[in-house]
Structure 1
């Protein structure tokens, strides 16, 4: 009789709602000193860094938008985004999501948690949502802090896009917000990989290291001369595809593909982590990972997803080559030069001209014409030609280009001196940066010839 009553009590015991489990897991995460330090760092350090760089005489000109940090406050959050996509966001995903399940293995607290919640499914959902909430808080801190530091130290000024055209402050603010929002997709993919590693590898530290290792591998792949389809099939491409937001018209296709691929990775990795979590033996206190199952259930589906994505992208878009071709480079350089020439004209208080009047064009060669006229490299050379109203002889300027595999290039002026030979211009109001001395640009990889 006693046993029957006890059984009835067990059966009638209600499971803890997901909302209560979520609050419990969120409090557990936020109570950790390392998470608190990360929150403070993400909400304070970017503002201090951007404001500090804005007061320096030298700028990180080798970083995208770094050369404009003295000109507008909207360059700061973009510099921070470039740094975060390579280093900060993979590490944040690792610390938060890569340890959320493994911590219970190290502490041996699974049995207490299961007795309290009575549902492995709800435990998984609560832990995943708590990790997601903390990661969103950290990413928001990086974006808001970087923008605040730039606006306070430099001001709400127009931003020069990657094709040389000026973005009004309101337009720049919207595109900066979209760029950070796009970076959330690959961050979620890395967080899901962290969840998968935390579940599959147990107390092993490799689960914690998995997101940075995957991010490093994807960064290396982006630097290699791989076909565009392969780079687009990796979730890390969305960390750099936001560059296309800062051209006119915006280069949306690579960004949309990168975001979609990242979200598919995030969903698949989370589902795989969920399946592994439900199959594990919680009664074994010496559990040390899923072993062979981690490869068959975790690694192989992600590898199959990558192969399938490469095939789909290769069929749907012109992406079987490098995407960097001579005519594309010439168009990009000529367009950026025309916009920046008009900016230089305004700085020097010369008669205004339009892009139509300039009729700028570029003749670019790679390796002095001795190699295939396509692909990344620092051996591109361009001669830009333009016309001025009332001047019978066209103007010419020479640039040395360094083009990376993702289509971004840096054009370094190589004369004449009065056009692009000096870093500073002498204007009636004092010295000002010469926009034609060195500038960034972007080659759209998915457009046809």
Structure 2
């Protein structure tokens, strides 16, 4: 009589070992290596070259300060990354982490080696997240290094005109880069969902990029502030509120919360689809119907839910851009930058309290309501001139965007804000009052007139 050998239960592979395996697979791909190389070298070269040019990217927030401080270059790269680079990186990394197995037909081998679909999902998700963190860290570190090497560690002018000391600028810039990790995770989760639901189809790879493009179009529309804040892309813009005093933390915290909600929901949907998938079907190409019912509709419901929460929990009303808020912001920026101009001209310093800067704004004439974004805002700033009883005035044309950022273009008088340079005792220098950026808190209550 022969005894049957005892049957040993096959244990799943440990998660750390599967994670290392998935991370090595990602880092061994030449597109990922090229992305890492570009993110760790490209921004430094770009910032260093542009900072030494006579023409600056003034259409980008903080672009006009790249000559003045090395910290501005990193923020220019951050603004570009939030618009284009980060959504594309999430598509190339997270959008392909599951689809690559479908294209290569290696699911059966991977399942036999790991023996746990749950651990495969966790390992692939964390490996993709690790690569994305490396890419973001490269963009941040490289851009900071390039700016400091080309221009130096100098004070940074915030979006309300106040100066941030080098140490404060360093901490705030690093915090801004850290804040954009939340919306990056949200787009990465959408990439995981597309990669799982659509299989080898290239549409899974494009889902984060298409979502980013659609949300960018939505941000250009005059949507109510509550709808704008309920979109996961808003956190890509809300970091600008860190560069005012006091910091505009309300929109930023809401943007981070919405982004994390998208991360949790999209990841849970991808996890559910992955565990229900039939891996014996070698010709699996995804299902458009499954994407609609298990992806698009739940995420659309999440937008509706966050919109309802933001509307009920915040004072957001209309576009959030109102005349009194714009006047208060413009007067504050002007007061800070007037002192900066006075220092460049070697004039006696004066406080904002003594200046008593005020602004009076009008949008499009008497027949147009003084609210909402547009490039037809005209403002007159008045202040008490130091050492005299006279009151000075300066005219500005404002281009206000729907996300709260505005560009003030000086329209005279010439000796104050009508020319891009001022003559100082040491030579010509950029005029800080000629053109400058500002930011309106969409959630703040309108100041009393």
- Place the TM-score, normalised by the shorter chain, in its bin: over 0.9
Q: CA shift at 1:120, angstroms?
A: 0.5
Q: CA shift at 1:3, angstroms?
A: 11
Aligned to 2:194: 197
For residue 14 of structure 2, the aligned residue among 11, 14, 17 is: 17
How far apart are the structure 1 equivalents of 2:154 and 2:349?
A: 21
Quick check: 1:276–1:290 contact (8 Å CA) kept in 2?
Answer: no
Q: CA shift at 1:99, angstroms?
A: 0.4
Tell me if 1:116 matches 2:94: no
Moved more, 343-352 or 386-395: 386-395
How far apart are the structure 1 equivalents of 2:132 and 2:3?
A: 47
Quick check: 1:162–1:246 contact (8 Å CA) kept in 2?
Answer: yes
How far apart are the structure 2 equivalents of 1:108 and 1:378?
A: 54
Q: CA shift at 1:390, angstroms?
A: 3.1
Aligned to 1:307: 304
Aligned to 2:67: 70
SS in structure 1 of the partner of residue 349 of structure 2: coil
Aligned to 2:410: 413
SS in structure 1 of the partner of residue 415 of structure 2: helix
Tell me if 1:150 matches 2:147: yes
Quick check: 1:223–1:405 contact (8 Å CA) kept in 2?
Answer: yes
Q: CA shift at 1:2, angstroms?
A: 9.5
Aligned to 2:228: 231
For residue 328 of structure 2, the aligned residue among 320, 328, 331 is: 331
How far apart are the structure 1 equivalents of 2:107 and 2:442?
A: 49
For 1:89-142, what per-residue CA distance to the aligned partner results, in whole angstroms no more than 9, with x for missing partners? 011000000001001011111000001111100000010010000000000000
Map 1:32-431 → 2, pairs under 5 A:
32-431=29-428
Q: CA shift at 1:392, angstroms?
A: 1.9
**Structure 2: 5+ residue stretches without partners:** none
SS in structure 1 of the partner of residue 365 of structure 2: helix
Q: TM-score, normalised by structure 2?
A: 0.98
Kindly tell me the number of residue pairs found equivalent between the two proteins: 446
Moved over 2 A (4+): 1-6, 290-294
How far apart are the structure 2 equivalents of 1:273 and 1:2?
A: 49
How far apart are the structure 2 equivalents of 1:51 and 1:195?
A: 35
Q: CA shift at 1:389, angstroms?
A: 3.4
How far apart are the structure 2 equivalents of 1:17 and 1:326?
A: 60
Q: Do the aligned partners of residues 287 and 337 (structure 1) sit closer, same or farther apart at CA in structure 2, a change above 3 Å counting?
A: same
SS in structure 1 of the partner of residue 290 of structure 2: helix
Question: How well do the aligned residues superpose, as a CA RMSD in angstroms?
Answer: 1.2
How far apart are the structure 1 equivalents of 2:133 and 2:116?
A: 26
For 1:281-318, what per-residue CA distance to the aligned partner results, in whole angstroms no more than 9, with x for missing partners? 00111111144232222221111111000001011112
Q: CA shift at 1:351, angstroms?
A: 1.7
SS in structure 2 of the partner of residue 420 of structure 1: coil
Quick check: 1:329–1:443 contact (8 Å CA) kept in 2?
Answer: yes
